[in-house]
Amino acid sequence: MASGSALTSIVCPADKQPLVPGGVLTCTGDPYKVTKTDLARGRIEKSAVAVGKPPVSPGGIVPSSVESGASSVSVPVVKSAAPKLA
């Protein structure tokens, strides 16, 4: 689950699920379009939270969902121009 509406069409490869303890799952989404707000701020800031369910225990007890802590990233935006003269 990603916060905000910037991340869309998130896909997580099924062949890497279920995760083993300590495992890593890399999911991808549609490309992000830089906004005027991002440019004015000088960086792109996004965060995401992963949600999943642990396996059912041998006694058949279905555990509740597990939620990761928020993971955030900030990427600097560098403004440049390359005009072409005709």
Tokens standing for 85?
């003269």
pLDDT tens profile 67-85? 888 888 888 888 787 778 8
pLDDT tens profile 23-45? 888 888 888 888 888 888 898 88
> What are the residue boundaries of the structural domains of the chain, listed by start?
14-76
Sign of CA pseudo-dihedral 26, 27, 30, 34: negative
pTM: 0.53
